[in-house]
Amino acid sequence: MESYSNCAHCGHDLKGRTDKRFCNDTCRNTYNRIQRQQRHIPFPEQAKEIIQAIKRNYQIIASKDKSGGNIYISSKLEDYLAKGFEPKYFTSIHMENNDEQWYCIFDWYFYIAGNMIHIKNFIGQFQIK
C-alpha cells in the first residue's frame, strides 16, 4: 500500500498509520468534493464531427477572394451541396429585415431561398452574442 506523510487535502503532517491520507473526515470530504467538481465532462465524439462539418462549410463558403472588401454572392445551392456543404451546420443566426434568416459561419453569412444560396462576408465580424 502506498504511504502518505502529508494530508492529501491540507498538507499537514500525518502521524500514525502509514495508509492514512487525510488528517480527519473534514479534510477527506473536502478533498473528495473538490475531486468530483474538477472531473472533466468528456467532449462527445459526435460534437467533434459537427465541428469538422462547420470547418468544412467554412472552407467551402470562404473560398472566394475577399481582398476587395465585403462581398455578396448568389449561386446555385446545388453547386455548394455538391462540394459537401451542409447547411444545417453553422455557428449562429442573424435576422435581417425581420424575415430574412441568415446563417453565420463565423464572419460568413448564408441565406437560402429556393434553389439559390446567397452568401456575404463581413470582414472581421465574428458574432459571439
Binding site for Zn ion (CB under 5 A): 7, 9-10, 12, 23, 27
The smaller minimum CB distance to Zn ion, of residues 22 and 80, is found at 22
Specify the residue, 23 or 61, whose C-beta has the smaller distance to Zn ion.
Answer: 23
Kindly state the smallest distance separating residue 26's Cβ from Zn ion, in Å: 8
Match 480527519 to its residue by C-alpha cell.
24
User: Rounded distance, CA 3 to CA 31, Å?
Assistant: 17
Q: Smallest distance, Å, CB 30 to Zn ion? A: 8
Task: Give the number of other CB atoms < 10 A from CB of residue 54.
Answer: 16
Cβ proximity to Zn ion: between 12 and 33 the closer is 12
Closer Cβ to Zn ion, 28 or 94, answer by number: 28
Residues 6+ apart with CB under 8 A from 56: 84, 85, 86
Cα separation, 111 vs 100, whole angstroms: 8
Q: How far is the CB of 33 from Zn ion (least distance, A)?
A: 14
